[in-house]
């Protein structure tokens, strides 16, 4: 009898991505403000910055559905794990800036990272994102197609 763990991981990773995407879509203005605080997207042309609040959540929802259904799951896993690494790097960059400005220790920094979960403790978010990257890659490449 085969283990059901790989399928459970696929469903869990897909559900997390779908949930985060829906959270961001439900309040696109707050998500746009969060994106703008990172200062990594260009202000010109404005359509790039304006596309992000709907484009990123739709990508997360689509990738989550792909992981759950198995349709294009490898591509979805590569794209989402790449985005998660990029998001995590941006969170770290912003965290180091806050540490510089406030003198806080890494374990004390909290802010709304824009992930849809509200204010988070950053070291916990970094750990969660790392697990999410590994889980997404596992779901895309190790889980059976069934």
pLDDT for 77-118, tens place per residue?
999 999 999 999 999 999 999 999 999 999 999 988 888 777
> Residue 32: pLDDT above 90?
no
> Residue 38: pLDDT above 60?
yes
Per-residue pLDDT at 41: 72
pTM (predicted TM-score): 0.85
Per-residue pLDDT at 1: 46
- Joined tokens for residue 9: 């991981």
Q: How many CB atoms lie within 10 A of CB 49?
A: 15
The string of DSSP codes covering the chain is: ---SHHHHHHHHHHHHHHHHHHHHHH-HHHHHHHHHHHT-S-SSSHHHHHHHHHHHHHHHHHHHHHHHH-TTHHHHHHHHHHHHHHHHHHHHHHHHHHHHHH---GGG-EEE-SSSS-EEEHHHHHHHHHHHHHHHHHHHHTS---
> Residue 143: pLDDT above 70?
no
pLDDT band at 2; cut points 50, 70, 90: low
């Amino acid at each position: 009898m085969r283990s059901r763990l790989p399928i459970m991981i696929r469903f869990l990773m897909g559900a997390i991505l779908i949930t985060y995407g829906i959270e961001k879509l439900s309040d696109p203005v707050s998500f746009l403000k969060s994106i703008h605080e990172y200062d990594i997207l260009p202000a010109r042309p404005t359509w790039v910055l304006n596309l992000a609040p709907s484009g990123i959540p739709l990508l997360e929802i689509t990738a989550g559905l792909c992981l759950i259904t198995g349709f294009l799951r490898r591509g979805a896993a590569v794209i989402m794990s790449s985005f998660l690494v990029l998001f995590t790097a941006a969170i770290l960059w912003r965290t180091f800036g806050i540490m510089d400005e406030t003198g806080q220790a890494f374990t004390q920094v909290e802010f709304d990272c824009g992930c849809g979960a509200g204010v988070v403790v950053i070291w916990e978010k970094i750990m969660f994102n790392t697990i999410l990257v590994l889980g997404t890659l596992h779901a895309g490449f190790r889980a059976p197609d069934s």
